[in-house]
Structure 1
Amino acid sequence: MGNHNLDIAMFPWLAMGHIIPYIHLANQLAARGHRISFLIPKKTVPKLQHHSLHPNLITFHPLTVPDVDGLPLGTETASDIPLSLNNLLAVALDLMAHQLQEILTTIKPQLVFYDFAYWLPDITKSLGIKSVCYHVVSATSLAFALVPARHVPDHRPIYEEAREPPPGFPSSSILLRCHEILSMSILSRPFGNGAIKFYERLTRGMQNCDALAVRSCRELEGKFCDYIGTQYGKSLLFTGLALPEPTNTPALEDRWAKWLEKFEIGSVVFCAFGSQYFIEKDQFQELVLGFELTGLPFFVALKPPIGCKTIEEALPHGFEERVKERGVVHGGWIQQTLILSHPSIGCFVSHCGFGSMMEGLMSDNQIVLVPDLVDQILNTKLLVEELKVAVEVNRELENRWFSKESLSKAIDSVMDKESEVGMMVKANHAKVKEVIEKPGLMDGYIDKFVEDLRQLV
């Protein structure tokens, strides 16, 4: 098809953790001359326009999120609501199908990227548009949670089957470790219009598309990607990690820079859990007490726990006075990437969302993981069981509770310079980082991805 430029529309799930990675990919494609139409809720557009590095080629098309009984008025993304209401947001997404059809009929792209809108291929086929189901979660989580697809007659996920791995599944340790947790997860619950289950929503989207794409690379998840392709009878298209392009970002806030400079190189523990990690007050208090217990300096950046308006009101009695010289607990936005790259930081305690997982791998810090949602649990298993670059905090199986002692123990296991576990994960982390930072590797993935798309249209 030559080197013609492509016209692409993108419609990600209505959550910042999906929208922003789509924008990162849009930037990579626009840098190569391709035109992107980005379809997102209208009030969300001004919040995200600054992420676009190529406004001449990336056009935002505002959408109206329909009112749904039980969904707070004005809700546009998952960040506006508690996790328990995401099902209603999926109902709203499904009610947007007519809007999507009207816009696509008008702009006539060659390709449409989507993830949760499983019904989009029905629209694109009628318009002569190719559909690409593009997932921004790890291939490991897709391989476990969303397959087998073709070999199980009623499309039940692995976790509802016997605990023995199905033929060809690439990691029995991941399967057996996650089975009990995932059997109680969101995957089997209704998620959207018509009471479709979450698992069915995603597998239908993956089955009906013209092409299946993943935000991954063979160097990290090759065997899981191959397994997905085998199950769905499709060749996977790889975008690489599609990380943000370097920009002239401002320096780290002066107050945090000055505070971090007080401590030795590699001595501070940094903790952040992203926008979709909702923590109960008692678990929050146990968390911060765990940081106190380490005896190390720490910087915790979290949303106020459930039922609290501020971080300060949720802190344990006497905590601020005891840790004021060595600990910060902050309830606002922080420059996570800049903090992770500060010389004083030595450990990153993360929920292991995909973006944070990549930021952790690209840093030189030790990694301690406290996952909550399904994809975070599976990302954690990739880093802990497969790549062996991190440790996980032990939790009670029934209620997912973790103690201050288990958190402190996990941090100590990687921050103690004499720890065998710490030395092992540090060495493995360095090897993985060297591979994914190889000059030209990620650019090569995007270039190959573009050629695959040209073949598709």
Structure 2
Amino acid sequence: MDSKFHALMYPWFATGHMTPFLHLANKLADKGHRVTFLLPKKTLKQYEHLNLFPDKIVFHSVTVPHVDGLPIGTETASEIPVSSTNLLASAMDLTRAQIEDQVLAVKPDLIFFDFAHWIPEMAKDFGVKTVMYVVVSASTIASMLVQGGELGVPPPGYPSSKVLLRKQDLYSMKSINNDGTKFMERITTSLMNCDVIAIRTVREIEGSFCDYIEKHCKKRVLLTGPMFPEPDETKQLEEKWSNWLSGFEPDSVVFCALGTQVVLQKDQFQELCLAMELTGLPFLLAVKPPRGISTIQEALPDGFEERVKGRGVVWGGWVQQELILSHPSVGCFVSHCGFGSMWESLMNDCQIVLIPQLGDQILNTRLLSEELEVSVEVAREETGWFSKESLRDAITSVMERESETGKLVRMNHNKWRETLFSPGVMIGYVNNSVNSLQDLVYQ
């Protein structure tokens, strides 16, 4: 009997979801399985180069319907503020007929999904098994399952009193509208109705949270590992960044990047710039222009460019984050702690400073800073933002080699990197999860 299966994949319309789904598709294709990958029209070109097995992975575009409140032509989360996320989710719901047509046409054995919570119900009509592929941390999902009780108070059996949302976190989540609860319902519905849950994590770091999810949802939880692509030796850092970074001592540059969805207010942006200046260290700050302002230059603090000339760059475009982090001159990564960035920071050896903005980022930060003690979370003001002094102090605390904090997080970080890079660890997760999926299809 041929044990190869055909999977249909339909991830949430965001870079941090489509990319790990495609990495998983490549792992499945490498083992001879076929994948039909559904994604919005505008993103097809963006992902073609990441498809390592075009004979096994076939892209199909989905037309994202217009929903009142979204700009015409919106297809992905990076095109809108976080407060409009629920509108984009509503647009995804309106694609159901397109997905049904695809299922009828390609007759998959499995459907991988995350936020399209109606897929398990739809799949049952076609006799197809479903896998909710969780690309955020297991600790975030575990926290969602218990939220509704008192903030910051773990229920009986919850694995950690440290990795929970707290009252003060609500300040930094003001940008999300009140429909955030609807989004959590969407995720919990997906978890409870799918056949199997797969999570992009490792037991060594989040095993207790995975066990909690398995027990709470009463179904099998598979772990795929962080699902990074194989290192591509041909990929080089852009020459302008390589040359600029090479002008500084090893481990001396602070690199700050806040992801594709974070767009700051002008005063927050300026506070971030001034914090970088205050460190006295060379820095590269990669962040979108503030709200309502078209270019970075227009928003910089008075006299800032002149004062940091030669040691500081603020960049408003996309950068090769992974390659920058691995440059020997980079000594500190200041991040929003999205799940992809969390793994990249763990797998590199620079120090980690975290300024999370959204619920899952806050929980990832607690996991790294309080549970694993590999990073420092920046102290916040009552407004939910932080002062330039508090960010400077956090960076200084990890960059000073002899400081107590610096020694502690460096020691723990090295320990976890060694664990993650132990021979066979990553490939073991991939092999085990793929074997389990074959069993699911052919049991």
Which TM-score band (shorter chain)?
Answer: over 0.9
Alpha-carbon shift at residue 258 of structure 1 (Å): 1.5
Please say if residues 352 and 376 of structure 1, whose CA atoms lie closer than 8 Å, have aligned partners that are also in contact: yes
- Residue 361 in 1 paired to residue 323 in 2? no
- Residue 291 in 1 paired to residue 280 in 2? no
Please say if residues 188 and 198 of structure 1, whose CA atoms lie closer than 8 Å, have aligned partners that are also in contact: no
Residue aligned with 1:376, SS:
helix
Residue aligned with 1:328, SS:
strand
CA distance in structure 2 between the partners assigned to 1:58 and 1:248 by the alignment: 23
Q: Which residue of 2 aligns with 1:122?
A: 121
Describe how 1:285-434 pairs up with structure 2 within 5 A.
Answer: 285-397=270-382, 399-434=383-418
Please say if residues 336 and 357 of structure 2, whose CA atoms lie closer than 8 Å, have aligned partners that are also in contact: yes
Question: Which of 150, 165, 175 is the aligned partner of 1:161?
Answer: 150
Amino acid at match of 2:258: F
- Residue 172 in 1 paired to residue 171 in 2? no
Amino acid at match of 2:198: A
Question: Which of 243, 246, 252 is the aligned partner of 2:237?
Answer: 252
Residue aligned with 2:333, SS:
strand
Please say if residues 82 and 176 of structure 2, whose CA atoms lie closer than 8 Å, have aligned partners that are also in contact: no
CA distance in structure 1 between the partners assigned to 2:48 and 2:65 by the alignment: 22
Alpha-carbon shift at residue 34 of structure 1 (Å): 1.0
Q: Which residue of 1 aligns with 2:267?
A: 282
Question: Which of 222, 233, 257 is the aligned partner of 1:272?
Answer: 257
Please say if residues 152 and 166 of structure 2, whose CA atoms lie closer than 8 Å, have aligned partners that are also in contact: no
Amino acid at match of 1:81: I
Please say if residues 178 and 378 of structure 1, whose CA atoms lie closer than 8 Å, have aligned partners that are also in contact: no
CA distance in structure 2 between the partners assigned to 1:382 and 1:251 by the alignment: 32
Q: Which residue of 1 aligns with 2:8?
A: 9
- Structure 1-normalised TM-score? 0.93
Alpha-carbon shift at residue 257 of structure 1 (Å): 1.4
Amino acid at match of 1:13: W
Alpha-carbon shift at residue 251 of structure 1 (Å): 1.7
Runs ≥4 in structure 1, deviation > 4 angstroms? 182-188
Amino acid at match of 1:239: T
Greater Cα shift, 234-243 or 377-386 = 234-243
Question: Which of 173, 176, 197 is the aligned partner of 1:212?
Answer: 197
Alpha-carbon shift at residue 126 of structure 1 (Å): 0.6
C-alpha distance 186-455 of structure 1, shift in aligned 2 (>3 A) = farther
CA distance in structure 2 between the partners assigned to 1:125 and 1:347 by the alignment: 48
Task: Output one character per residue of 1:246-267: Cα deviation in whole Å (capped at 9) or x when no partner.
Answer: 2244321122111111111111
CA distance in structure 1 between the partners assigned to 2:47 and 2:58 by the alignment: 12
Please say if residues 111 and 132 of structure 1, whose CA atoms lie closer than 8 Å, have aligned partners that are also in contact: yes
C-alpha distance 207-188 of structure 1, shift in aligned 2 (>3 A) = farther
Question: Which of 162, 171, 181 is the aligned partner of 2:169?
Answer: 181
Please say if residues 83 and 176 of structure 2, whose CA atoms lie closer than 8 Å, have aligned partners that are also in contact: no
C-alpha distance 81-46 of structure 1, shift in aligned 2 (>3 A) = same
Amino acid at match of 1:438: S
Q: Which runs of 5+ in 1 are unaligned?
A: 149-156
CA distance in structure 2 between the partners assigned to 1:222 and 1:200 by the alignment: 24
Task: Output one character per residue of 1:338-390: Cα deviation in whole Å (capped at 9) or x when no partner.
Answer: 11111111000011001111111111100000100111100000000100000
Q: Which residue of 2 aligns with 1:22?
A: 21
Alpha-carbon shift at residue 186 of structure 1 (Å): 8.4
Residue aligned with 2:293, SS:
coil
Alpha-carbon shift at residue 182 of structure 1 (Å): 4.9
Give identity over the alignment, percent.
55
CA distance in structure 2 between the partners assigned to 1:164 and 1:337 by the alignment: 36
Q: Which residue of 2 aligns with 1:151?
A: none
CA distance in structure 1 between the partners assigned to 2:184 and 2:170 by the alignment: 12
CA distance in structure 1 between the partners assigned to 2:431 and 2:153 by the alignment: 39
CA distance in structure 1 between the partners assigned to 2:105 and 2:218 by the alignment: 32
Please say if residues 109 and 129 of structure 2, whose CA atoms lie closer than 8 Å, have aligned partners that are also in contact: yes
- Residue 439 in 1 paired to residue 423 in 2? yes
CA distance in structure 1 between the partners assigned to 2:346 and 2:432 by the alignment: 24
Between the two proteins, the alignment pairs up a number of residues equal to 440
Please say if residues 332 and 399 of structure 2, whose CA atoms lie closer than 8 Å, have aligned partners that are also in contact: yes
Q: Which residue of 2 aligns with 1:48?
A: 47
Amino acid at match of 1:133: M
Q: Which residue of 2 aligns with 1:152?
A: none
Describe how 1:12-91 pairs up with structure 2 within 5 A.
Answer: 12-91=11-90
Alpha-carbon shift at residue 401 of structure 1 (Å): 1.4
Q: Which runs of 5+ in 2 are unaligned?
A: none
